[in-house]
Amino acid sequence: MINKKTAIYITGILFLLLQVISTGNLYASGNSQQQSPKKLFQAGAATTNTSPSMDIEMRSSPAIVNIHDELHARCLVLDDGEKRLAFVVVDIIGLNRDLIDEAKRIIYEENDLSPENVMVSSTHTHSMARATGPPPYDEYQKFIIRRIADAVKKAIFNLEPARIGWGAGDVPEHVFVRRWFMKPGSPVPNPYGGEDKVMMNPGRLNPNIVEPAGKPDPEVSVISVQSLEGRPIALFANYSLHYVGGVPRGHISADYFAVFADRMKELLGADRQDPPFVGIMSNGTSGDVNNINYAVPGQNYPPYARMKVVANDVAKEVMRVYENIEHHDWAGLQSAQQELTLKVRKPDSKMIAHAKEVLAGTDQRVGPHGSSKHYNEGLLNRLDMPDNVDILLQSFRIGDLAIATIPFETFAEIGLEIKEKMKSRPAFTIELANGSYGYLPTPRQHEWGGYESWTNKFEYDASVKIVDSLMKMFETFE
Protein backbone atom coordinates (compact mmCIF):
# COMPACT_ATOMS: atom_id res chain seq x y z
CA MET A 1 0.00 0.00 0.00
CA ILE A 2 1.07 3.61 -0.69
CA ASN A 3 1.39 5.70 2.49
CA LYS A 4 0.04 9.24 2.75
CA LYS A 5 3.43 10.90 2.23
CA THR A 6 4.08 8.97 -0.95
CA ALA A 7 0.61 9.74 -2.26
CA ILE A 8 1.14 13.47 -1.70
CA TYR A 9 4.49 13.27 -3.51
CA ILE A 10 2.95 11.50 -6.52
CA THR A 11 0.11 14.00 -6.62
CA GLY A 12 2.60 16.87 -6.69
CA ILE A 13 4.54 15.30 -9.55
CA LEU A 14 1.34 14.81 -11.54
CA PHE A 15 0.36 18.45 -10.92
CA LEU A 16 3.72 19.69 -12.18
CA LEU A 17 3.39 17.50 -15.31
CA LEU A 18 -0.04 18.93 -15.98
CA GLN A 19 1.36 22.42 -15.65
CA VAL A 20 4.11 21.67 -18.14
CA ILE A 21 1.65 20.14 -20.61
CA SER A 22 -0.73 23.07 -20.19
CA THR A 23 2.05 25.59 -20.71
CA GLY A 24 3.23 23.73 -23.78
CA ASN A 25 -0.26 23.76 -25.26
CA LEU A 26 -0.58 27.48 -24.59
CA TYR A 27 2.75 28.07 -26.27
CA ALA A 28 1.72 25.99 -29.26
CA SER A 29 -1.61 27.76 -29.64
CA GLY A 30 0.07 31.14 -29.37
CA ASN A 31 2.72 30.19 -31.94
CA SER A 32 0.71 28.06 -34.34
CA GLN A 33 2.56 29.32 -37.42
CA GLN A 34 5.87 28.09 -36.05
CA GLN A 35 4.55 24.86 -34.53
CA SER A 36 1.94 23.71 -37.08
CA PRO A 37 2.99 20.80 -39.31
CA LYS A 38 4.32 21.69 -42.74
CA LYS A 39 1.75 21.54 -45.54
CA LEU A 40 2.23 18.47 -47.72
CA PHE A 41 1.76 18.61 -51.48
CA GLN A 42 1.36 15.31 -53.33
CA ALA A 43 1.04 14.24 -56.93
CA GLY A 44 0.46 11.02 -58.81
CA ALA A 45 0.06 10.15 -62.47
CA ALA A 46 -0.98 7.13 -64.48
CA THR A 47 -2.20 5.93 -67.86
CA THR A 48 -4.65 3.28 -68.99
CA ASN A 49 -4.87 1.77 -72.46
CA THR A 50 -8.10 2.73 -74.27
CA SER A 51 -7.42 1.20 -77.69
CA PRO A 52 -10.44 -0.56 -79.20
CA SER A 53 -10.50 -4.08 -80.53
CA MET A 54 -9.84 -4.14 -84.25
CA ASP A 55 -13.33 -5.38 -85.10
CA ILE A 56 -15.05 -2.28 -83.66
CA GLU A 57 -17.43 -0.39 -85.95
CA MET A 58 -16.08 3.07 -86.68
CA ARG A 59 -17.93 6.22 -87.67
CA SER A 60 -17.44 7.18 -91.33
CA SER A 61 -14.37 4.95 -91.56
CA PRO A 62 -13.41 1.62 -93.09
CA ALA A 63 -12.63 -1.37 -90.94
CA ILE A 64 -9.59 -1.00 -88.69
CA VAL A 65 -6.53 -2.56 -90.31
CA ASN A 66 -3.88 -1.18 -87.96
CA ILE A 67 -3.50 0.39 -84.55
CA HIS A 68 -0.40 2.42 -85.25
CA ASP A 69 0.02 3.62 -81.67
CA GLU A 70 -2.04 2.75 -78.62
CA LEU A 71 -4.68 5.13 -77.30
CA HIS A 72 -4.68 6.09 -73.63
CA ALA A 73 -6.45 7.89 -70.85
CA ARG A 74 -3.74 9.95 -69.14
CA CYS A 75 -4.31 11.20 -65.61
CA LEU A 76 -2.64 13.66 -63.23
CA VAL A 77 -3.84 13.85 -59.61
CA LEU A 78 -2.80 16.72 -57.34
CA ASP A 79 -3.37 17.01 -53.58
CA ASP A 80 -2.54 20.03 -51.40
CA GLY A 81 -3.56 18.37 -48.13
CA GLU A 82 -7.06 19.88 -48.20
CA LYS A 83 -8.24 19.46 -51.79
CA ARG A 84 -7.57 16.78 -54.37
CA LEU A 85 -7.93 17.35 -58.14
CA ALA A 86 -7.84 14.90 -61.04
CA PHE A 87 -7.23 15.82 -64.69
CA VAL A 88 -7.87 13.11 -67.29
CA VAL A 89 -7.17 13.51 -71.02
CA VAL A 90 -8.47 10.77 -73.33
CA ASP A 91 -7.25 9.94 -76.85
CA ILE A 92 -10.56 10.14 -78.72
CA ILE A 93 -12.36 12.62 -80.98
CA GLY A 94 -14.90 13.48 -78.29
CA LEU A 95 -16.88 12.12 -75.32
CA ASN A 96 -20.52 12.77 -74.54
CA ARG A 97 -21.23 14.33 -71.18
CA ASP A 98 -23.38 11.44 -69.96
CA LEU A 99 -20.48 9.05 -70.47
CA ILE A 100 -18.10 11.34 -68.59
CA ASP A 101 -20.64 11.78 -65.78
CA GLU A 102 -20.85 8.01 -65.41
CA ALA A 103 -17.07 7.77 -65.15
CA LYS A 104 -17.10 10.52 -62.50
CA ARG A 105 -19.80 8.66 -60.57
CA ILE A 106 -17.56 5.59 -60.40
CA ILE A 107 -14.54 7.71 -59.44
CA TYR A 108 -16.52 9.23 -56.56
CA GLU A 109 -17.85 5.85 -55.47
CA GLU A 110 -14.42 4.21 -55.46
CA ASN A 111 -12.19 7.09 -54.34
CA ASP A 112 -14.48 9.59 -52.57
CA LEU A 113 -13.32 12.22 -55.07
CA SER A 114 -16.05 14.77 -55.77
CA PRO A 115 -17.07 15.18 -59.45
CA GLU A 116 -16.43 18.93 -59.29
CA ASN A 117 -12.77 18.10 -58.62
CA VAL A 118 -12.47 15.82 -61.68
CA MET A 119 -11.95 17.04 -65.26
CA VAL A 120 -12.19 14.70 -68.25
CA SER A 121 -11.35 15.97 -71.74
CA SER A 122 -10.72 14.59 -75.23
CA THR A 123 -7.64 15.21 -77.38
CA HIS A 124 -9.74 15.21 -80.58
CA THR A 125 -7.62 12.74 -82.52
CA HIS A 126 -9.58 12.31 -85.74
CA SER A 127 -8.61 8.73 -86.46
CA MET A 128 -10.55 7.58 -83.39
CA ALA A 129 -13.76 9.11 -84.78
CA ARG A 130 -16.21 6.71 -83.23
CA ALA A 131 -19.60 8.05 -82.13
CA THR A 132 -20.20 7.91 -78.39
CA GLY A 133 -23.95 8.18 -78.15
CA PRO A 134 -26.25 8.16 -75.14
CA PRO A 135 -27.12 5.12 -72.98
CA PRO A 136 -27.59 2.23 -73.20
CA TYR A 137 -23.83 1.99 -73.62
CA ASP A 138 -22.20 -0.50 -75.96
CA GLU A 139 -19.16 -2.53 -74.95
CA TYR A 140 -16.60 0.05 -76.04
CA GLN A 141 -18.36 2.88 -74.22
CA LYS A 142 -18.43 0.79 -71.06
CA PHE A 143 -14.74 0.05 -71.59
CA ILE A 144 -13.90 3.76 -71.94
CA ILE A 145 -15.84 4.60 -68.76
CA ARG A 146 -13.97 1.95 -66.81
CA ARG A 147 -10.59 2.97 -68.20
CA ILE A 148 -11.14 6.63 -67.24
CA ALA A 149 -12.00 5.57 -63.71
CA ASP A 150 -9.02 3.21 -63.61
CA ALA A 151 -6.63 5.99 -64.65
CA VAL A 152 -7.74 8.10 -61.69
CA LYS A 153 -7.57 5.15 -59.32
CA LYS A 154 -4.03 4.30 -60.44
CA ALA A 155 -2.87 7.91 -60.18
CA ILE A 156 -4.22 8.14 -56.61
CA PHE A 157 -2.35 4.95 -55.75
CA ASN A 158 0.82 6.60 -57.10
CA LEU A 159 0.49 9.75 -54.96
CA GLU A 160 3.75 10.84 -53.36
CA PRO A 161 5.23 14.05 -51.90
CA ALA A 162 5.91 16.34 -54.83
CA ARG A 163 6.91 19.76 -56.12
CA ILE A 164 5.02 21.65 -58.82
CA GLY A 165 5.71 24.52 -61.20
CA TRP A 166 4.28 26.05 -64.36
CA GLY A 167 5.27 28.23 -67.27
CA ALA A 168 4.55 28.98 -70.92
CA GLY A 169 6.30 29.38 -74.25
CA ASP A 170 5.35 30.02 -77.88
CA VAL A 171 5.24 27.73 -80.92
CA PRO A 172 3.68 29.93 -83.62
CA GLU A 173 4.95 27.97 -86.62
CA HIS A 174 2.30 25.24 -86.38
CA VAL A 175 -0.97 27.08 -85.70
CA PHE A 176 -3.02 28.82 -88.40
CA VAL A 177 -6.65 29.92 -88.52
CA ARG A 178 -8.27 27.72 -91.15
CA ARG A 179 -11.19 30.09 -91.92
CA TRP A 180 -10.45 32.69 -94.59
CA PHE A 181 -12.20 35.77 -95.88
CA MET A 182 -12.78 35.49 -99.61
CA LYS A 183 -12.69 38.20 -102.24
CA PRO A 184 -16.00 40.02 -102.85
CA GLY A 185 -17.95 38.18 -105.52
CA SER A 186 -16.24 34.84 -104.83
CA PRO A 187 -18.78 32.02 -104.55
CA VAL A 188 -19.06 30.99 -100.89
CA PRO A 189 -22.43 29.19 -100.75
CA ASN A 190 -23.85 27.69 -97.59
CA PRO A 191 -26.33 24.80 -97.47
CA TYR A 192 -29.22 27.05 -96.46
CA GLY A 193 -29.51 29.08 -99.64
CA GLY A 194 -27.23 31.96 -98.69
CA GLU A 195 -23.68 33.16 -99.16
CA ASP A 196 -21.00 33.28 -96.46
CA LYS A 197 -18.10 35.68 -95.99
CA VAL A 198 -15.57 33.06 -94.95
CA MET A 199 -14.59 29.59 -96.10
CA MET A 200 -13.02 26.81 -94.07
CA ASN A 201 -9.96 25.13 -95.60
CA PRO A 202 -10.11 27.04 -98.91
CA GLY A 203 -7.13 25.21 -100.40
CA ARG A 204 -3.53 26.27 -100.75
CA LEU A 205 -2.80 29.35 -102.86
CA ASN A 206 -6.48 29.82 -103.65
CA PRO A 207 -6.50 33.08 -105.69
CA ASN A 208 -9.71 34.20 -103.95
CA ILE A 209 -8.42 34.16 -100.37
CA VAL A 210 -7.86 37.51 -98.65
CA GLU A 211 -6.83 36.93 -95.03
CA PRO A 212 -7.52 34.58 -92.11
CA ALA A 213 -10.73 35.29 -90.18
CA GLY A 214 -9.02 35.45 -86.80
CA LYS A 215 -5.79 34.83 -84.93
CA PRO A 216 -4.48 31.57 -83.47
CA ASP A 217 -3.10 31.19 -79.95
CA PRO A 218 0.58 30.21 -80.29
CA GLU A 219 1.18 29.67 -76.57
CA VAL A 220 2.03 26.28 -75.11
CA SER A 221 1.34 26.10 -71.37
CA VAL A 222 3.23 23.70 -69.11
CA ILE A 223 2.64 22.19 -65.67
CA SER A 224 5.61 20.23 -64.32
CA VAL A 225 5.39 17.86 -61.36
CA GLN A 226 8.48 16.35 -59.73
CA SER A 227 9.27 14.20 -56.74
CA LEU A 228 11.05 15.95 -53.87
CA GLU A 229 14.29 14.53 -55.28
CA GLY A 230 13.62 16.03 -58.71
CA ARG A 231 12.43 12.90 -60.52
CA PRO A 232 9.84 13.81 -63.20
CA ILE A 233 6.40 12.53 -62.23
CA ALA A 234 4.30 14.15 -64.96
CA LEU A 235 4.21 16.99 -67.42
CA PHE A 236 0.82 18.43 -68.40
CA ALA A 237 0.82 20.68 -71.49
CA ASN A 238 -1.82 22.63 -73.41
CA TYR A 239 -1.55 23.77 -77.04
CA SER A 240 -4.26 25.14 -79.32
CA LEU A 241 -3.93 22.89 -82.37
CA HIS A 242 -6.98 21.00 -83.64
CA TYR A 243 -4.98 17.89 -84.58
CA VAL A 244 -2.32 17.09 -87.20
CA GLY A 245 -3.45 14.00 -89.09
CA GLY A 246 -1.55 12.21 -91.83
CA VAL A 247 -3.07 8.91 -90.68
CA PRO A 248 -3.98 6.40 -93.43
CA ARG A 249 -7.59 5.26 -93.63
CA GLY A 250 -8.27 2.27 -91.46
CA HIS A 251 -5.48 3.20 -89.02
CA ILE A 252 -5.92 4.25 -85.39
CA SER A 253 -3.51 6.80 -83.91
CA ALA A 254 -3.42 9.16 -80.92
CA ASP A 255 -1.91 11.79 -83.27
CA TYR A 256 0.70 14.34 -82.23
CA PHE A 257 -0.64 14.40 -78.66
CA ALA A 258 0.89 10.97 -77.98
CA VAL A 259 4.07 11.67 -79.97
CA PHE A 260 4.61 14.75 -77.79
CA ALA A 261 4.12 12.75 -74.58
CA ASP A 262 6.64 10.15 -75.70
CA ARG A 263 9.15 12.78 -76.79
CA MET A 264 8.97 14.55 -73.42
CA LYS A 265 9.73 11.27 -71.68
CA GLU A 266 12.84 10.99 -73.83
CA LEU A 267 13.95 14.59 -73.30
CA LEU A 268 13.50 14.35 -69.53
CA GLY A 269 15.37 11.06 -69.32
CA ALA A 270 12.32 9.58 -67.65
CA ASP A 271 12.01 6.26 -69.47
CA ARG A 272 11.42 3.06 -67.50
CA GLN A 273 10.71 4.80 -64.22
CA ASP A 274 8.66 3.24 -61.46
CA PRO A 275 6.03 4.65 -61.20
CA PRO A 276 6.16 5.57 -64.90
CA PHE A 277 6.48 9.18 -65.99
CA VAL A 278 3.30 10.47 -67.66
CA GLY A 279 3.33 13.09 -70.39
CA ILE A 280 -0.01 14.71 -71.24
CA MET A 281 -0.99 17.08 -74.03
CA SER A 282 -4.46 18.62 -73.70
CA ASN A 283 -6.18 20.48 -76.52
CA GLY A 284 -6.51 24.24 -76.08
CA THR A 285 -8.86 26.53 -78.00
CA SER A 286 -8.40 25.20 -81.52
CA GLY A 287 -11.88 24.94 -83.06
CA ASP A 288 -10.81 27.15 -85.97
CA VAL A 289 -7.10 26.27 -86.05
CA ASN A 290 -5.04 23.71 -87.92
CA ASN A 291 -1.38 23.50 -88.95
CA ILE A 292 -1.82 24.49 -92.60
CA ASN A 293 -1.02 27.95 -93.91
CA TYR A 294 -3.11 28.21 -97.07
CA ALA A 295 -1.23 31.31 -98.26
CA VAL A 296 2.00 29.40 -98.99
CA PRO A 297 2.92 26.28 -100.98
CA GLY A 298 2.58 23.04 -99.10
CA GLN A 299 4.96 20.22 -98.32
CA ASN A 300 4.03 16.58 -98.76
CA TYR A 301 4.68 14.29 -95.82
CA PRO A 302 4.51 10.49 -95.66
CA PRO A 303 2.04 9.04 -93.13
CA TYR A 304 2.73 10.06 -89.51
CA ALA A 305 5.68 12.29 -90.46
CA ARG A 306 3.98 15.68 -90.04
CA MET A 307 2.76 14.90 -86.51
CA LYS A 308 6.32 14.05 -85.51
CA VAL A 309 7.56 17.41 -86.79
CA VAL A 310 4.89 19.25 -84.82
CA ALA A 311 5.35 17.19 -81.66
CA ASN A 312 9.14 17.56 -81.71
CA ASP A 313 8.96 21.35 -82.18
CA VAL A 314 6.44 21.74 -79.37
CA ALA A 315 8.47 19.45 -77.11
CA LYS A 316 11.62 21.46 -77.81
CA GLU A 317 9.92 24.67 -76.65
CA VAL A 318 8.38 22.92 -73.65
CA MET A 319 11.81 21.67 -72.65
CA ARG A 320 13.14 25.24 -72.83
CA VAL A 321 10.30 26.38 -70.58
CA TYR A 322 10.78 23.42 -68.25
CA GLU A 323 14.42 24.27 -67.62
CA ASN A 324 13.38 27.69 -66.30
CA ILE A 325 10.37 26.63 -64.21
CA GLU A 326 10.50 27.38 -60.49
CA HIS A 327 9.10 24.38 -58.66
CA HIS A 328 7.21 24.91 -55.39
CA ASP A 329 7.00 22.54 -52.42
CA TRP A 330 3.35 23.50 -52.02
CA ALA A 331 0.62 25.15 -54.10
CA GLY A 332 -2.99 25.71 -53.12
CA LEU A 333 -5.68 24.00 -55.19
CA GLN A 334 -9.17 25.34 -55.92
CA SER A 335 -12.05 24.23 -58.12
CA ALA A 336 -15.56 25.31 -59.06
CA GLN A 337 -18.18 24.14 -61.50
CA GLN A 338 -21.43 25.49 -62.88
CA GLU A 339 -24.31 24.30 -65.03
CA LEU A 340 -25.00 26.82 -67.79
CA THR A 341 -28.24 26.67 -69.79
CA LEU A 342 -27.91 27.39 -73.51
CA LYS A 343 -30.79 27.81 -75.94
CA VAL A 344 -30.95 25.51 -78.94
CA ARG A 345 -31.14 27.51 -82.19
CA LYS A 346 -34.20 26.18 -84.03
CA PRO A 347 -34.86 26.86 -87.73
CA ASP A 348 -37.58 29.36 -88.57
CA SER A 349 -40.39 28.71 -91.08
CA LYS A 350 -38.36 30.01 -94.02
CA MET A 351 -35.40 27.76 -93.20
CA ILE A 352 -37.70 24.77 -92.72
CA ALA A 353 -39.31 25.33 -96.10
CA HIS A 354 -35.91 25.64 -97.80
CA ALA A 355 -34.63 22.50 -96.09
CA LYS A 356 -37.63 20.47 -97.26
CA GLU A 357 -37.12 21.79 -100.80
CA VAL A 358 -33.45 20.73 -100.71
CA LEU A 359 -34.32 17.27 -99.41
CA ALA A 360 -36.90 16.81 -102.18
CA GLY A 361 -34.51 17.87 -104.93
CA THR A 362 -31.17 16.86 -106.40
CA ASP A 363 -28.35 16.69 -103.89
CA GLN A 364 -25.55 19.24 -104.14
CA ARG A 365 -22.11 19.03 -102.57
CA VAL A 366 -21.61 21.96 -100.17
CA GLY A 367 -18.89 22.18 -97.56
CA PRO A 368 -16.17 19.78 -96.52
CA HIS A 369 -18.00 16.94 -94.81
CA GLY A 370 -21.32 16.35 -96.47
CA SER A 371 -23.93 17.16 -99.04
CA SER A 372 -26.47 19.93 -98.90
CA LYS A 373 -29.05 17.32 -97.91
CA HIS A 374 -26.84 16.20 -95.04
CA TYR A 375 -26.69 19.69 -93.52
CA ASN A 376 -30.38 20.36 -94.00
CA GLU A 377 -31.32 17.06 -92.41
CA GLY A 378 -29.25 18.16 -89.43
CA LEU A 379 -31.06 21.48 -89.39
CA LEU A 380 -34.49 19.81 -89.27
CA ASN A 381 -33.28 17.43 -86.55
CA ARG A 382 -32.97 20.42 -84.23
CA LEU A 383 -36.78 20.58 -84.18
CA ASP A 384 -36.69 17.37 -82.11
CA MET A 385 -34.08 18.69 -79.69
CA PRO A 386 -35.07 20.24 -76.35
CA ASP A 387 -35.33 24.02 -76.32
CA ASN A 388 -32.45 24.25 -73.85
CA VAL A 389 -29.35 22.22 -73.04
CA ASP A 390 -27.37 22.38 -69.81
CA ILE A 391 -23.60 22.28 -70.23
CA LEU A 392 -20.97 21.92 -67.51
CA LEU A 393 -18.23 24.47 -66.99
CA GLN A 394 -15.29 24.03 -64.60
CA SER A 395 -12.54 26.32 -63.42
CA PHE A 396 -9.41 25.44 -61.45
CA ARG A 397 -6.58 27.22 -59.70
CA ILE A 398 -3.16 25.74 -59.02
CA GLY A 399 -1.25 28.38 -57.10
CA ASP A 400 -1.70 31.46 -59.28
CA LEU A 401 -2.30 29.39 -62.46
CA ALA A 402 -5.89 29.50 -63.75
CA ILE A 403 -7.41 26.72 -65.87
CA ALA A 404 -10.76 27.06 -67.65
CA THR A 405 -12.66 24.22 -69.30
CA ILE A 406 -15.23 24.38 -72.11
CA PRO A 407 -17.14 21.39 -73.60
CA PHE A 408 -16.86 22.61 -77.22
CA GLU A 409 -14.34 22.79 -80.05
CA THR A 410 -13.62 26.35 -79.01
CA PHE A 411 -12.43 29.12 -81.31
CA ALA A 412 -8.97 30.50 -80.55
CA GLU A 413 -10.17 34.05 -79.93
CA ILE A 414 -12.25 32.79 -76.99
CA GLY A 415 -9.16 31.35 -75.31
CA LEU A 416 -7.23 34.53 -76.02
CA GLU A 417 -10.06 36.57 -74.51
CA ILE A 418 -9.98 34.51 -71.32
CA LYS A 419 -6.21 35.00 -71.04
CA GLU A 420 -6.64 38.74 -71.57
CA LYS A 421 -9.34 38.96 -68.90
CA MET A 422 -7.08 37.12 -66.44
CA LYS A 423 -4.64 40.03 -66.89
CA SER A 424 -1.24 39.19 -65.43
CA ARG A 425 -2.28 35.79 -64.07
CA PRO A 426 -1.11 32.78 -66.13
CA ALA A 427 -4.06 30.92 -67.62
CA PHE A 428 -5.12 28.44 -70.28
CA THR A 429 -8.30 26.73 -71.46
CA ILE A 430 -8.93 23.04 -72.07
CA GLU A 431 -11.53 22.42 -74.77
CA LEU A 432 -13.78 19.37 -75.20
CA ALA A 433 -13.81 19.03 -71.42
CA ASN A 434 -16.80 17.38 -69.73
CA GLY A 435 -18.68 16.97 -72.98
CA SER A 436 -18.58 17.40 -76.75
CA TYR A 437 -21.16 19.75 -78.27
CA GLY A 438 -19.47 20.66 -81.56
CA TYR A 439 -17.94 23.99 -82.53
CA LEU A 440 -18.14 27.20 -80.49
CA PRO A 441 -17.79 30.29 -82.71
CA THR A 442 -18.10 33.82 -81.36
CA PRO A 443 -21.08 36.01 -82.39
CA ARG A 444 -19.08 37.76 -85.13
CA GLN A 445 -17.82 34.43 -86.47
CA HIS A 446 -21.43 33.29 -86.72
CA GLU A 447 -22.17 36.39 -88.80
CA TRP A 448 -19.39 35.47 -91.22
CA GLY A 449 -20.77 31.91 -91.63
CA GLY A 450 -18.69 28.91 -92.57
CA TYR A 451 -18.83 25.23 -91.76
CA GLU A 452 -18.34 25.65 -88.02
CA SER A 453 -21.34 27.97 -87.81
CA TRP A 454 -23.48 25.62 -89.92
CA THR A 455 -23.00 22.77 -87.47
CA ASN A 456 -23.33 24.78 -84.25
CA LYS A 457 -26.75 24.21 -82.68
CA PHE A 458 -26.79 26.86 -79.98
CA GLU A 459 -27.62 30.53 -79.55
CA TYR A 460 -25.26 32.95 -81.29
CA ASP A 461 -23.98 34.49 -78.04
CA ALA A 462 -23.23 31.17 -76.32
CA SER A 463 -19.51 31.98 -76.20
CA VAL A 464 -20.23 35.30 -74.46
CA LYS A 465 -22.26 33.56 -71.77
CA ILE A 466 -19.61 30.89 -71.32
CA VAL A 467 -16.75 33.38 -70.88
CA ASP A 468 -18.81 35.52 -68.48
CA SER A 469 -19.66 32.46 -66.37
CA LEU A 470 -16.05 31.29 -66.24
CA MET A 471 -14.80 34.70 -65.16
CA LYS A 472 -17.36 34.84 -62.36
CA MET A 473 -16.22 31.42 -61.22
CA PHE A 474 -12.61 32.59 -61.14
CA GLU A 475 -13.65 35.59 -59.05
CA THR A 476 -14.82 33.23 -56.30
CA PHE A 477 -11.19 32.14 -55.88
CA GLU A 478 -9.92 35.61 -55.03
Encode pLDDT of 380-414 as tens digits: 999 999 999 999 999 999 999 999 999 999 999 99
Query: Which pLDDT value is given to residue 2?
Result: 47
Residues 466, 247: Cα–Cα separation, whole Å: 34
Please indicate, yes or no, whether residues 371 and 245 belong to a single structural domain of this protein: no
Residue 245 pLDDT > 70: yes
How many domains is the chain built from? 2
Could you write out the DSSP letters of every residue in 284-316?
Answer: -S-TTEES--TTS------TTHHHHHHHHHHHH
Please check whether residue 120 is in contact with residue 51, taking contact to mean a CB–CB distance below 8 angstroms: no
Q: Are 331 and 360 members of one domain?
A: no
If one compares 369 and 307, the residue with the highest pLDDT of the two is 307
Shared domain for 418 and 335, answered yes or no, is: yes
- Give the pTM: 0.91
Co-location of 351 and 413 in the same domain: no
- With respect to residue 91, please indicate whether it lies within any of the assigned structural domains: yes
Distance from C-alpha of 40 to C-alpha of 29, rounded to nearest angstrom? 21
Q: What is the pLDDT of residue 474?
A: 96
* Same domain, yes or no: 67 and 80: yes
Of all residues in the chain, the percent with pLDDT exceeding 90 is 84
pLDDT for 26 beyond 60: no
Q: Residue 31: its pLDDT value, please?
A: 36
Report the alpha-carbon angle 423-83-97, nearest 5.
Answer: 75
Average pLDDT over residues 446-466: 97
- pLDDT bin (cut points 50, 70, 90) of residue 37 is low
Answer yes or no: do 105 and 239 share one domain.
yes
Q: How confident is the model at residue 422 (pLDDT cuts 50, 70, 90)?
A: very high
99: containing domain? 42-166+219-288+304-345+391-475
Same domain, 224 and 251: yes
Identify the domain boundary among 384, 409, 431: 384
- At 262, the pLDDT band (50, 70, 90 cuts) reads very high
pLDDT in tens, 71-92: 999 999 999 999 999 999 999 9
Which pLDDT score, from 0 to 100, does residue 57 have? 74
Residue 106, helix vs strand vs coil: helix
Note whether 240 and 264 are same-domain residues: yes
Mean pLDDT, rounded, of the chain: 91
Same domain, yes or no: 377 and 467 = no
Position 24 pLDDT exceeds 50: no
The C-alpha angle 431, 436, 439, rounded to 5 degrees, equals 70
